[in-house]
Structure 1
Amino acid sequence: MSIITSLTRMWLTKSVKPFTFRNEYDQILPYEECDNLGLYVHIPFCKSICNFCPYCKTLYSAEQCDRYINSLIEEIHLIGGQNTERKEATSLYFGGGTPALAANRIKEIIDALNEHFIITEGIGVELHPDNVNADVLQVLKDAGVTKISIGIQSFCSKYQKILGRKAIDTDAIKAALTAVPFETVSMDFIFALPGQTYDDLRSDIDMAFSLGANHIAIYPFIDFTFTESQISALPKKEKRKLLDAITEYCYRQGYSRSSIWTFSSRSDANYSSMTRDNFLGFGCSATSLFKEQFKINTFDVGSYCERIGSGDLATSLTIRFTKRQRMIYWLFWTAYSTKVNTMDFENFFGVPLKKMYGFELWLAKLCGFIKEHDGTYEMTLKGAFYYHYYENFYTLSYIDKMWGIMRKKAFPERIEL
């Protein structure tokens, strides 16, 4: 896997140099110069730990959570206070962990961010199914939340058992969503689980929309090396057949595809913290992406609080991009939406996309991965699958390695990918 990603990296960046992350950071962050800036807040606490989940998380305690939120608000003011005027930000997403465990403090966090940013396209929060009750939802809505994403994973009892999740009270979820409506109600599912069929996944999707969802995300199961999960994903051929079949089903139902994994029943329903040109992250493991650098905060809650308490940023690692490295990063995550607009690329980098990657685009069209129309490249069903297939290699070669190291060491000296 590392050979595939390394060869691809060398070909597209025209360099043998790896992506090198160093234990260094700028105290003043260049987000003021960024257009299309998104915000992200990570709250790492969970009531129980799912063994398949790779994200930064720790068991919940009220005392530790309050200390962490205090530090989080300090970090927001530390970074936001670098500029005298409020900066426009397209969106704000809360992830975790289980952010709703801090529902009573979400408004404090949003208020702190509103002192420094103008959020134009809504605020989203991830929820565990246990959090979906009218009381919690009303607290979030009163705080300014406009979108929610519920981590269902599966309504099927056999997959709930495989994933170590308990049965979901669908009647309670429907009643809560009816009582407290949001602009976007998204539900997350895992696909490519062992033995999973088209009927299994279709049943999950139908149930989601019947309960009040207007957006769904179907993420592939990825077996990270540092998790304790014993689950094996479907083989490639079965995975492609399942993804193609469920995509065609969503199209027949009239749902629009907004990214590789997401479909919505309304054009204005969207939930994605990934497809943004630049973003600013707060909290443990949160990442920030600017035009010339990418940084990631420490995964360790105690170290995060100590670093912020000293008046310094909690950055663990930083990479300073070459221009081609940044282009690849932009293309990879923009393609997550299934479309790449040539003018967007040229406006961001000041050079035509075809000048930089004309041969690669020609080859992708020849292979049937993309179609071109009015300056936009759009993935075919085949292209969307192979994007997923390569993203799996990327995740296991790059993200798996980095997160595995950072889970063990708060501030590693250097990582090469």
Structure 2
Amino acid sequence: MARGVYIHIPFCHQICNYCDFNKFYFQNQPVDDYIEMLGQEMAFVTQKNPEHFQQIETVFLGGGTPTALSPQQLKRLLELIQTYIPMDYVTEFTSEANPDELSADKLYALLDGGVNRLSMGVQSFDEELLQKIGRTHSNEHVYDTIALAKKVGFVNISIDLMYGLPGQTMAQWRDSLAKALALKLPHYSAYSLIVEPKTIFYNQYAKGKLHLPTEDLEADMYDVLMLEMEASGLQQYEISNFAQPGFHSVHNQIYWDNDEYAGFGAGAHGYLAGVRYSNHGPLKKYMETIKNGDLPYVHEHLVTPNERREEQMFLGLRKTAGVLHSIYEEKFQESLYVRYGKVIDKLVSEELLVHDTAGIRLTRKGRFVGNEVFQQFLL
């Protein structure tokens, strides 16, 4: 049974240099038709499998950039969501947003349509760095938009930050953190740059034209991140996420708990009835498939019991609470030690894991090499 719904809006007015998500320039795209096809997909899936949608807890609008849509387009999209997604148990309804695209009309459209959480892509408060990574907003946009969002009625506001950016210094990172924390928001996410294939940065890197901070400097930036968040009273509840009590991202928690969710839209991914699936990415193929009365799946994979266990481990260990004995045993009818005892003992001896009566979790040292720890559980 799905706990969450993800809806992909693949349109952007500007393509960021680091982005590898399924996205298209907004101009001259069939945006209105796409929204209607999204409605059709939601209708197909929820009516075909109503048992999967009995207790949806979260809805998440991602992209691309959902706020690239006009107020009228947002209203139509939210109307379709309210029509086809059972909302009785939804407590968190998030929309991603760009700071320079959130007008009052769009904010009211979002709020009136049920959205109660905003996740804003700020990335940096250094405007020279913003230009380097392809962002179009300014610091003034961030301050004005957050103030406007609060005035409209939004309380649950999160911003994303990035470190390890091309040419970024520790001084720049500290300054961005200070400006971000001065906003006193209830939630922050902070990610190191990953140079992904099919991005502008990847092409620059391949040509030797992308100058990144050293691994040691990036690790120091992460260390400063954790220290500053803690000093500001924010709890680190996942490797890259920090929040005031009561403001953890429920939707992302679904992913880290390895629970099921539905994905709608071009290039969206989902996990239902033990099957991980992905939709066609190209708009034309996605829309034509739905018009023909078919589901737009391009790939489906039945997750094996062993894969499910591995996912439970490497996703769960992203959380500071880690993997709990009680949850693991409930899902798999066996102790963590049956399969992973030797790995756990080894990582505990290396001071990368803590093991107690509650479960296992990364140490502070382990958070710096999380990916290396996770790989140990791929048996």
TM-score, with length taken from structure 2: 0.87
Tell me if the contact between 1:223 and 1:233 (Cα under 8 Å) persists in the aligned partners: no
Task: Spell out the pairing of 1:4-43 with structure 2 (5 A cutoff).
Answer: 34=1, 37-43=3-9
Other structure's SS at 1:337 match: coil
User: 2:207 aligns to what?
Assistant: none
What residue identity is the alignment partner of 2:357? D
Establish whether residue 239 from structure 1 lines up as the match of residue 221 from structure 2. no
Tell me if the contact between 2:170 and 2:217 (Cα under 8 Å) persists in the aligned partners: no
Residue 194 of structure 1: how far off its partner (Å)? 3.1
Residue 349 of structure 1: how far off its partner (Å)? 2.1
Other structure's SS at 1:152 match: strand
Unaligned stretches of 5+ in structure 1? 1-33, 395-417
Residue 223 of structure 1: how far off its partner (Å)? 0.7
What residue identity is the alignment partner of 1:185? I
User: 2:266 aligns to what?
Assistant: 284
Establish whether residue 215 from structure 1 lines up as the match of residue 163 from structure 2. no
What residue identity is the alignment partner of 2:282? D
Q: CA–CA distance in 2 between the matches of 1:269 and 1:175?
A: 19
CA gap of 1:150–1:343, structure 2 versus 1, over 3 A, is same
Q: CA–CA distance in 2 between the matches of 1:333 and 1:283?
A: 24
User: 1:303 aligns to what?
Assistant: 285
User: 1:188 aligns to what?
Assistant: 160
Q: CA–CA distance in 1 between the matches of 2:175 and 2:165?
A: 15
User: 2:314 aligns to what?
Assistant: 332
Residue 81 of structure 1: how far off its partner (Å)? 0.2
User: 2:54 aligns to what?
Assistant: 87
TM-score, with length taken from structure 1: 0.80
Task: Spell out the pairing of 1:150-299 with structure 2 (5 A cutoff).
Answer: 150-166=120-136, 167-169=138-140, 170-211=142-183, 213-229=185-201, 230=204, 231-264=210-243, 266-271=244-249, 272-273=251-252, 274-276=255-257, 277-290=259-272, 292-299=274-281
CA gap of 1:238–1:50, structure 2 versus 1, over 3 A, is same
What residue identity is the alignment partner of 2:18? F
User: 1:14 aligns to what?
Assistant: none
Which among 99, 123, 128 is matched to residue 98 of structure 2? 128
Runs of 4+ in 1 over 6 A off after TM superposition: none
User: 2:11 aligns to what?
Assistant: 45
Other structure's SS at 2:199 match: coil
User: 2:37 aligns to what?
Assistant: 71
User: 1:31 aligns to what?
Assistant: none
Which among 112, 118, 130 is matched to residue 83 of structure 2? 112
- Of residues 189-198 and 362-371 in structure 1, the stretch that sits farther from structure 2 once superposed is 189-198
| Percent of aligned pairs with the same amino acid | 26
Residue 208 of structure 1: how far off its partner (Å)? 2.5
- Of residues 252-261 and 373-382 in structure 1, the stretch that sits farther from structure 2 once superposed is 373-382
Other structure's SS at 1:173 match: helix
Q: CA–CA distance in 1 between the matches of 2:346 and 2:267?
A: 37
Tell me if the contact between 2:20 and 2:197 (Cα under 8 Å) persists in the aligned partners: no
Residue 365 of structure 1: how far off its partner (Å)? 1.1
Tell me if the contact between 1:177 and 1:212 (Cα under 8 Å) persists in the aligned partners: no
User: 1:10 aligns to what?
Assistant: none
Q: CA–CA distance in 2 between the matches of 1:168 and 1:241?
A: 25
Q: CA–CA distance in 2 between the matches of 1:379 and 1:329?
A: 16
CA gap of 1:262–1:307, structure 2 versus 1, over 3 A, is same
Q: CA–CA distance in 2 between the matches of 1:379 and 1:150?
A: 28
Other structure's SS at 1:194 match: coil
Other structure's SS at 1:190 match: strand
Other structure's SS at 1:382 match: helix
* Count of matched residue positions in the alignment of Structure 1 and Structure 2: 357
CA gap of 1:175–1:248, structure 2 versus 1, over 3 A, is closer
Tell me if the contact between 1:260 and 1:388 (Cα under 8 Å) persists in the aligned partners: no
Residue 285 of structure 1: how far off its partner (Å)? 1.3
Tell me if the contact between 1:42 and 1:284 (Cα under 8 Å) persists in the aligned partners: yes
Residue 211 of structure 1: how far off its partner (Å)? 3.4
Deviations 1:124-164 (A, max 9, x none): 00001112333221211111111110001111022112112
Tell me if the contact between 1:279 and 1:289 (Cα under 8 Å) persists in the aligned partners: yes
User: 2:366 aligns to what?
Assistant: 383
